[in-house]
A = this chain, B = another copy of it.
Amino acid sequence: MASISPLPTTSRPLASDLEIARQAQLKPIAEIAERLGLPPGIIEPYGHHVGKIPLEAIKGQASRPKAKYIVVSAITPTPLGEGKTTTSVGLAQGFHHIGKTATVALRQPSMGPTFGIKGGAAGGGWSQVVPMERINLHLTGDIHAVTAAHNLLSAMVDNHLYHGNASGMDLNQVAWRRVVDINDRGLRHIVTGLGGKANGLPRETGFDITAASEVMAVLALADSLEDLRRRLGQIVVGWTPSGEAVTAEDIGCAGAMAVMLKEAMKPNLMQTIENTPVLIHAGPFGNIAHGNSSIVADQIGIHGSDYLVTEAGFGADMGAERFFNIKCRASGMQPDAAVLVATVRGLKVHSGQHRVVAGKPLPDSMLTENPDDVRIGASNLRKQIENLRLHGVPVVVAINAFPTDYDSEHAVIAEVAREMGARVEICTHVKDGGAGAAVLAQAVVEAAEEPSHFEMLYPSEMALTDKIETIAQRVYGADGVDCSAVAKRQLAHFTAQGFGHLPVCVAKTHLSLSSDASLSGAPTGWRMPVREVRLSAGAGFAYALCGDIRTMPGLGANPAAAAIDINEMGEIEGLF
């Protein structure tokens, strides 16, 4: 096991993400495509520094050597952010500093938060994806295409009800809402179809943010255009009074949706600030959906370089669990190693001794040397390492170092990681770029050489109820699950309708290993309440709602949008 390296020294001052991004020496996107081994001319340029990769590339790349497949996850996130995206980007860059090639696969960020709470989703510092204004705005329009396809189905469902409701759908059991890629609280709960007969049937419904659309999850989980078409058809938009599912196929909309999503199915190619290839594709929510980037992007990337680094949303109990049990189940791909990002700050918060608020300065108590609090909070780290090892995957803990950390605090993390059988390294990629993650990359190389014993947490044949129990007890550390009467009825209904083989996505808070956001560390002695169970039959999973899960954010009193503008030189300001 590698020893902890000293913090690298650097003379580079830490400028703002935007300033750093503007210093980047970008290469033409065709050159980045060449690094992936893609044949000349296959890339479809979208501007000079973004390209789409046609799905023919999956077949085209298949004869090339296979990369090691590395999933990046984290301790349970705190409002501070643990730096999972920067670490994914930094690690991929780090491989290039030890003579290996690598590609990183990320989700496309939603514009909602970009204009809501300040914060891009392109990494940061010297570990970011460029051009940052492309990734944080429309990119190549994939999210817009998902919005359009989703809302076409919404209009077709209402039109179906308006023109005779041939499927016999129960007006009180229409399951399909609408979506918009904006934080708009006023759209959460609305009544449509008002103003007279010509405007359709009045009914209660609402909008979610596009990342929460099942269409987004379908885009992420389909492994070909045909599979996309098939999955779209399987989307359940409502139920008949006798409990039969009415699908997008029944409504006659799945073909048109597939046509709308044809270009969106092609992964987007970008680069990091060090010209490492980046695949950006799909952005499903991390609670009601599986929170991972697309299968087709990984299918292309897995034959593109020595290592393919892919990021899973939220903590290892959420994103990584779904990576293993939903994404890998659908793709048939197997990870060779997992990276778990941990921070001193995060583990201090997990000690339960400190309250932090996003965007506010850290309290003084967080900034003093305090290895004891790190040790208390490390219960979370311990459990998340366990969660990764449950799936038979070698683990490397990446300590994402901050200037306010102390060596004694890093030492505690390293000790806990080693106790749990994980490798561990300190990384400074935000400040130092790939050079700051070279030791991490070396540890990942070693971990990925170990024989892989990947296994899923549960077989598809396991009953839906048991799947939820298994995830809650083995991953979250619950004593058990309490299903509401409604949830029990839904589970029985879905099983009877032939959906019992689906994996389950548990929609709980991401801010705790438990289903109670206020519990830090690794809570024990609690039971998980399941309020309701819903179906994403097109995406291919059921999801269990534990507590209030918001699928449409609101804007704050001072939204980021108010500070974003174009300056006299025509440049974007205030975006991040």
Given contacts A259-B566, A564-B259, A566-B225, contact A192 B186 (CB under 8 A): yes
Does A390 reach chain B (CB closer than 8 Å)?
Answer: no
Separation of A187 and B575 alpha carbons in the complex (Å): 31
Q: Which of A250-258, A346-354, A533-541 binds B? A: A250-258
A151 vs B137: C-alpha distance when bound (angstroms): 15
Mask: chain A, 147-181; 1 = CB below 8 Å from B; 0 = not: 11001101110110011100000000000001011
Contacts of A159 in B (CB 8 A): 185, 554-555, 559
A486 sits at the interface (CB 8 A): no
A211: shortest Cβ distance to chain B, in Å? 14
The answer to whether residues A561 and B195 also contact, given A148-B181, A156-B555 and a CB cut-off of 8 A, is: no
Q: Which residue of B188, B262, B562 contacts A256 across the interface (Cβ within 8 Å)? A: B562
Give A250 Cβ to nearest chain B Cβ, in Å: 11
- Which of A66-74, A196-204, A312-320, A468-476 forms part of the interface with chain B? A196-204
Taking a contact as CB atoms closer than 8 A, the residue among B154, B162, B189 that contacts A194 in the complex is B189
Give min CB distance, A411 to chain B, whole Å. 44
Q: In whole angstroms, what is the CA distance A297 to B178 when docked?
A: 34
Task: Tell me the complex Cα distance, A204–B193, Å.
Answer: 12
Q: Is A115 in contact with chain B by the CB < 8 A criterion?
A: yes
Cα A252 to Cα B178 in complex, Å, equals 27
Which chain B positions have C-beta within 8 A of A191? 190-191, 194
Q: Is the CB of B259 within 8 A of A572?
A: yes
A260 CB-CB contact with B under 8 Å = yes
A388 within 8 A of B: no
A482 at the B interface (CB under 8 A): no
User: Looking at the complex, which of A138-146, A269-277, A505-513 is the stretch in contact with chain B?
Assistant: A138-146
Residues in B neighbouring A252, C-beta threshold 8 A: 561-562
Whether B565 contacts A256 by the Cβ 8 Å rule is yes
Shortest Cβ distance from A560 into B: residue: B256
Q: Which of A41-49, A363-371, A375-383, A496-504 contacts B (4 or more CB under 8 A)?
A: A41-49
A561 touches B141 (CB 8 A): no
B192 in contact with A229 (CB, 8 Å): no
Could you tell me if B151 and A182 are in contact, using CB atoms closer than 8 angstroms? Answer: yes
CA distance A216 to B490 in the complex (A): 45
Asked if A557 is an interface residue, CB under 8 A from chain B, the answer is yes
Q: Is A426 an interface residue (CB 8 A)?
A: no
Nearest CB in chain B: distance from A560 CB, A: 8
Q: Mark out the residues of chain A between 113 and 155 whose CB falls within 8 Å of any chain B CB in the assembled complex.
A: 115, 133, 137-138, 140-141, 144-145, 147-148, 151-152, 154-155
CA distance A44 to B49 in the complex (A): 10
Q: Select one of B158, B259, B561 contacting A184, CB under 8 A.
A: B158
Q: Which 6 A-B pairs have the closest CB atoms?
A: A255-B565, A189-B195, A144-B144, A141-B141, A252-B562, A155-B184
Ordered by A's residue number, 26 sampled pairs between the chains whose C-beta atoms are within 8 Å are A111-B148, A137-B260, A138-B141, A141-B141, A144-B144, A148-B181, A151-B180, A155-B182, A155-B185, A155-B186, A156-B555, A158-B184, A162-B185, A178-B187, A185-B193, A185-B198, A186-B199, A190-B191, A225-B566, A252-B562, A254-B565, A256-B561, A256-B562, A258-B565, A259-B572, A262-B566
